[in-house]
Structure 1
Amino acid sequence: MKKLLNYLAAGVLLLGQVSCQSTEELKREQYYAEGYQLYTLHCANCHQPDGRGLANLYPPLASADYLSDKQRFICITKNGLSGEITVDGKVYDRPMPANPKLTDIDIAEIATYVYTTWAKDSTYTPIDTVTQALARCEPSKNK
């Protein structure tokens, strides 16, 4: 009887872990899908649907070294950027407008899409990460 109870307890624990993993996976998939929609609406016109940017005007996101700092990405997505920016060794000098209407969840979903697609990050970006990043960023220091 004791063995049976141990097996049942182990099964319940295992089921709980599978359930948690499934929740995380579902959240990532949801954020990714919503992020794709938001990226298409707010970002793809300049950075292009494939993330390669537009000639000498707008920098790429696809595999760009600039994605190494997610906080900077979050700040720029919300607050925009002016002045020169160097991405993958190339200088760009077109302003990126601010997106003040984007909510923290919008930015979390865009970041999830961009980082999953082009930075090979397999996790989603939680809203708390965005909220904390936005509290720390200063629009004039987004470079």
Structure 2
Amino acid sequence: MRGAISPKDGMFYAVGSDGWGNYSLDDGSLERVRYTGRPYPMLKKVHGYENGIELKFSSKLSGKAASQTKSYFVQQWNYEYSPAYGSLEYSVKRPSQEGHDRVRVKSVKILPDQKSVFLEIPYLLPALQTHIFAELETEEGLVEMNAFATLVHLDKAKKGFAEPMPALKSRTASLRIRGSKADKERVALNTANTPKGRIRAGETLFKMFCIGCHGPEGKGLPSIAPTLHSDWVSGDREILVKVLLKGLGGQIKVNGELQNYEAAMPGFGPALGDDEIASILSYVRSAWTDAPADVTSAFVKKIRGAEKEKTGPYEAQQLWERVVRR
């Protein structure tokens, strides 16, 4: 995308492809950014629970629309799990079928801060894409919300609302994304129970799940994700497995330097199996450190079982202190 300020009206114009988040038939766009001097209300946070979604806005909500279920449209879908780039969109409830699942909002409650609203959805499932649309009034003006959230982890049910249905076990299973028989056979072949087999499979999986934030050479991206050429990757295997299973947030010390990032790393425990996590970690350890590629599926399974009650991402400082003590 390229942009410039027009000498005629002083406004900022940008051109480029339409990207994700819409259903345009053709790529290409011309966008204008115009400063009005007025406050601009916006969605600040999307948080998934087993029984619904909490939305937080930059200003207080007003009017009746925010508390009415008919004001919200929610749908979900998954992508195909394969080495290919791009994918059709598949039902979360019926993984073999193409399409989206419309999600019914049972009730809506504006929370005490008046900036947040909870959408009660007892049948919410983890999904790669959860699309939420609404037009709401705030004290600072209208918000047209068209949010696309990756809710692969759902926190425990929010108190005061309906219990989640169905059981969480089946929800986690729903994230086993549809893949072709050939893709599954290829991954299974590469995930042989040997260091070389895990490394081969890990390279493929890294390109699918990790390259977007950590980059093709594992050097990370400013304000997004740290380098993998680090003491974290070369250090304790248990810490690495926990990070990939549950995610990581907070200020982090990498190679002796404190760093901050815009958002927490998501946990991949619900989406990836023990073999896949072992393969990714074996690959990154062999590719960018001198540490042995000795992360096995049995080791991952052991850690997953020990941490099954843990919800949400780890705090980086907590894990790093444990590494230092060891």
Range of TM-score over shorter length: 0.7 to 0.9
Say yes or no: does 1:39 pair with 2:209: no
Q: Letter of the 1:73 partner, please give it.
A: L
- How far the C-alpha of 1:101 sits from its partner, in A, is 0.8
Correspondence for 1:53 = 220
The worse-fitting range, judged by mean Cα deviation, of 25-34 and 109-118 is: 25-34
- How far the C-alpha of 1:87 sits from its partner, in A, is 1.2
SS at match of 1:81: strand
Q: 1:103 aligns with which of 273, 287, 292?
A: 273
Cα distance change of structure 1 residues 133 and 142 upon mapping to structure 2, 3 Å threshold: farther
Q: Contact 1:61 / 1:114 at 8 angstroms: preserved in 2?
A: yes
- CA RMSD, aligned part only? 2.1
What is the CA–CA distance in structure 2 between the aligned matches of 1:66 and 1:56, rounded to whole Å? 18
- How far the C-alpha of 1:133 sits from its partner, in A, is 2.1
Correspondence for 2:231 = 65
Q: Contact 2:252 / 2:259 at 8 angstroms: preserved in 1?
A: yes
Cα distance change of structure 1 residues 41 and 35 upon mapping to structure 2, 3 Å threshold: same
Correspondence for 2:64 = none
Deviations 1:31-72 (A, max 9, x none): 10100011111111101110110023310102x011212111
* 1:1-143 pair list within 5 angstroms: 27-62=194-229, 64-67=230-233, 68-88=235-255, 89-93=257-261, 94-99=263-268, 100-137=270-307, 138-139=310-311, 141=314, 143=316
- How far the C-alpha of 1:142 sits from its partner, in A, is 5.1
What is the CA–CA distance in structure 1 between the aligned matches of 2:315 and 2:239, rounded to whole Å? 6
What is the CA–CA distance in structure 2 between the aligned matches of 1:26 and 1:75, rounded to whole Å? 21
The worse-fitting range, judged by mean Cα deviation, of 64-73 and 119-128 is: 119-128
Larger Rg: 2
The percentage of aligned residue pairs carrying the same residue is 25
Hey, which of these two has a bigger chunk of helix by percent? 1
TM-score scaled by length of structure 1 = 0.72
Q: Letter of the 1:69 partner, please give it.
A: D
Gaps of 5+ in 1: 1-24
Which structure is higher in RCO with an 8 Å CA cutoff and minimum separation 6? 1
- How far the C-alpha of 1:119 sits from its partner, in A, is 2.2
- How far the C-alpha of 1:104 sits from its partner, in A, is 0.5
- How far the C-alpha of 1:96 sits from its partner, in A, is 0.6
Count of residues paired in the alignment: 118
What is the CA–CA distance in structure 2 between the aligned matches of 1:26 and 1:83, rounded to whole Å? 34
Gaps of 5+ in 2: 1-191, 317-326
Q: Contact 2:246 / 2:314 at 8 angstroms: preserved in 1?
A: no
